[in-house]
Structure 1
Amino acid sequence: MMPSSVPSFAELLGQCERSAVHLELRDSYAPTDRFEAWKRGERINWEDRESWWHPYDQLIADTVARGVVIRRARVISEPVSDYIRWEHYVTRANITAGEEVRWLPRRRATSIPLPGNDFWLFDGALLRVHHFSGDGAVVEDEITADPEAVKLCSAAFEAVWERAIPHHLYKI
């Protein structure tokens, strides 16, 4: 499916009624200005919510307020990359918005059949699969309701979630 024909994340989340789960499998993604600032030593003033609260955070908060459970699991290598160290730091925003987040060290994932790509799964039925270049830039997103892909991704997420460490307990 061409990227222009893929519904936006906001549209997909807006149609979601029960659950949205996100599995991340990479140790780094394309650098952002926020990541580069963090690497220079800049830190977020968590007390000044207006300075860090983004439209994404509001979308998540609004969706959770409708009763949708949003869970994110990250499979990561240890020792962690700088990018993962930064993600762990900024996950406070995800948690504040209402996401549940867990971390699974890759060595504990060996016996889990994992898909080859990061994904979002909406209401256990519709996948938004992320395709990345080698340097972590998004190449395109693909939407599918293929029953086999949905089954694999759902089972993989649940297996990761069961073994993963809740954010507040995972120390870097």
Structure 2
Amino acid sequence: MNKVKNVINIKYYDSPCGGMIIGAVGKGLCLCDWRENRHRLHNDNRVKCFFNAVYEEKDSRLLDDALRELDEYFAGRRREFDIPLCPAGTDFQLCVWQALTSIPYGETRSYMEIAEGLGNAKGVRAVAQAVGANQMSLFVPCHRVIGSNRSLTGFAGGLDAKRFLIDMEQKFCRK
């Protein structure tokens, strides 16, 4: 059995639409997920295994900067995040998550549009699975992905949180 060699510094954040846990490893943010997510344990284990790490609640400048950026985002003063990311994922997941970061603030895209943008219109289910595996919520804006019929679909923070985030961004875009 491998000995744990790394530490993921974590902090908790209370957003206007739910409690979150954020984590940093090395020089990048590796976690921003919902505390009430039914997949919380699975996501934690995946991140810890990927980085061969344990969680440790302690201060970190990177986490402080991430919390500040989240506060600015929810206040409507930030549309893009500057925090370096270090997500735990496969090459395909990383490709999908990168595509999510290109969805403009206040706009949405369907899973089909993401798949087509990646050059594989038949890969909608694979894209949906990769979006669902995102443990970098908000920083990798999976809340901006909706169904092809423009309906809200699954979201780790719940559909109420997803609607809140989309509505908030669209409201701030109108100002």
For the aligned pair, the TM-score class normalised by the smaller chain equals: under 0.3
Q: Point out which structure has higher relative CO (alpha carbons under 8 A, 6+ apart).
A: 1
TM-score between both structures, scaled by the size of structure 2: 0.25
| TM-score, normalising length: structure 1 | 0.25
